[in-house]
Amino acid sequence: MRELINSGISGVGMAVPERIMTNADIEQLVETSNEWIVTRTGIKERRVSAPDETVASLGAKAAKLALENAGVTADKLDLIICATTTGDFLWPATACLIQKDIGAVSAAAFDISAACSGFVYALSVADGFIRTGAMKNILVIGADTLTKQLNWQDRNTCVLFGDGAGAVLLAPTQPGYGILSFTLGTDGGKFDVIGIRGGGTRNPITHEGLDLKENTIVMRGSEVFKFAVKIMGDASLNALEKAQLTIKDIDLYIPHQANLRIIKAAADRMGLDENRIFLNVEKYGNTSAASIPIAMTEAAQSGRIKTGDVIVTVGFGAGLTWGANVIRWDCRNGGMG
Ligand SMILES: CC(C)(COP(=O)(O)OP(=O)(O)OC[C@H]1O[C@@H](n2cnc3c(N)ncnc32)[C@H](O)[C@@H]1OP(=O)(O)O)[C@@H](O)C(=O)NCCC(=O)NCCS
């Protein structure tokens, strides 16, 4: 049997819209307050995309930076995976638009739809291609522009989300480094807890549907909250066990940045102290599939990650879906560190 090859992150990049929307700005739109939003979610501001700023344009920006960071040119890419649920078109896949924009002439491209777990799913899929030796350079992008699909009159949802993109280059690395394990899961019975009801083939968009704002996000917040707190711990422990590691071995925990209270409650449940958790939810809100690669980029570029560090990423979201990766960071192949 052919020997398996570890895949590691050799470059990171991110892009967020320039426009900042603060909680004070949201106070002008719905019956809410900065105090409510900060105490319930930890979010202080979020980035909002301009009409011509899309998943493809933000994703391509992040992708170019990740390639530059790794010192690899786009023509060397074998595959581009874009994790998103707010792609530019219903189809074709947004990864195809990014492939053209960055000039990845030899790359295949497709999207992964796993909502806020999308980046963890995409990273795990990409790892499989490299592990078997089928491919060498894979760009994994997480990008979303959920503010374009919000009901700005619904205070239950409009305070939570923001836009952005993050990208990593995944390439072969040395044994014992890179992605050590992953776990992925789904509970499709809870498909209706969070999502968008209109615009698909089951419920095509109509004038009446638009009046009812069926093209925007609906959510049962407290159900998501309880699910998230439990699954973050369970998924993290499962992935750590597969890598024969424990909570104590984590150098930096990079969770999906949905809500500070969710992250803190999950960390308490696992016995993980706060100084080992990377947090930026206060600046960006929940950027869905982009939140982990944005956090990873900021962590790597601010010196929070060193070669040899054990990183755990964990995502959860609509589907319901969840997933976690355990990564032993290796900067030797790329431009980081
Ligand atoms: C949405 C969320 C912040 C609400 O916080 P909570 O502490 O659970 O609040 P509750 O749902 O108990 O609602 C309490 C009250 O606040 C109100 N409320 C909701 N949003 C509000 C807002 N932005 N400002 C002020 N009041 C608000 C509710 O209407 C409710 O009022 P009521 O009791 O009169 O009906 C929280 O449930 C959450 O973060 N859930 C997870 C959401 C998420 O992360 N989704 C994406 C997953 S990838």
Specify the residue with its C-alpha closest to ligand 1, atom 12: 222
Residue 156 has pLDDT above 60, yes or no: yes
Is 286 an active-site residue?
A: yes
pLDDT surpasses 60 at 288: yes
Classify residue 193 by its DSSP letter.
S
**217 - beta bridge partners?**
196
Q: Flag whether pLDDT at 280 surpasses 50.
A: yes
pLDDT > 60? residue 334: no
* Ligand 1 midpoint to CA 143 (Å): 25
Task: Please tell me the least confidently modeled range out of 44-48, 278-282, 333-337.
Answer: 333-337
Does the global pTM surpass 0.75?
Answer: yes
Residue with CA nearest ligand 1 atom 30 = 156
Question: Cβ distance 329 to 305 under 8 Å?
Answer: yes
For ligand 1, atom 28, the nearest C-alpha belongs to 156
CATH topology of domain 179-328: Peroxisomal Thiolase; Chain A, domain 1 (3.40.47)
The set of residues, in sequence order, having a beta carbon less than 8 Å from that of 124 and lying 6+ positions away, is: 179, 182, 184, 323, 325
Longest dimension (CA), the chain: 63
Among residues 286, 325, 331, 333, the one annotated as catalytic is: 286
Q: Where are the domains of the chain?
A: 7-177, 179-328
Residue 332 confidence (pLDDT): 58
Average pLDDT over residues 170-182: 96
Q: How confident is the model at residue 331 (pLDDT cuts 50, 70, 90)?
A: confident
Please give the average per-residue pLDDT across 176-205, as a whole number.
Answer: 96
What is the percent of the chain with per-residue pLDDT over 90, rounded to a whole number? Answer: 97
Residue 276, CA atoms < 13 Å, CB-side half-sphere: 18
Quote the DSSP letter at residue 246: -
- pLDDT > 70? residue 176: yes
- State yes or no: pLDDT of 289 exceeds 60: yes
C-alpha–C-alpha distance, residues 68 and 66, integer Å: 5
Rounded distance between C-alpha atoms, residue 306 and residue 182, angstroms: 21
Cβ atoms 165, 55 nearer than 8 A: yes
3-class SS of residue 274: helix
The answer to whether domain 7-177 has CATH 1.10.8.10 is: no
CA dist 225 → 144, 167, 221, 230, 271 (Å): 21, 27, 6, 9, 19
Our answer on whether the CB atom of 28 is closer than 6 Å to any ligand 1 atom is no
Of the candidates 256, 259, 325, 331, the residue annotated as catalytic is 256
pLDDT the model gives residue 195:
97
Q: How confident is the model at residue 336 (pLDDT cuts 50, 70, 90)?
A: low
The answer to whether the CB of 42 is under 6 A from ligand 1 is no
Same fold flag, 7-177 and 179-328? yes
Phi, psi of 247 (to 5 degrees): -50, -35
H runs (alpha helix) in the chain = 23-27, 34-41, 55-70, 94-102, 118-131, 155-158, 207-211, 221-242, 260-270, 281-284, 291-301
Please confirm, yes or no, whether 256 is among the known catalytic residues: yes
* Phi then psi dihedrals of residue 280, to 5 deg: -145, 15
User: In this structure, what token pair is assigned to residue 153?
Assistant: 């009159």
Exactly one of 96, 116, 158, 331 is catalytic; which is it? 116
Confidence of residue 337 (pLDDT cuts 50, 70, 90): very low
DSSP string covering 196-230: E-SSSSSS---HHHHHTTTTSEEE-HHHHHHHHHH
Mean pLDDT of 65-86: 97
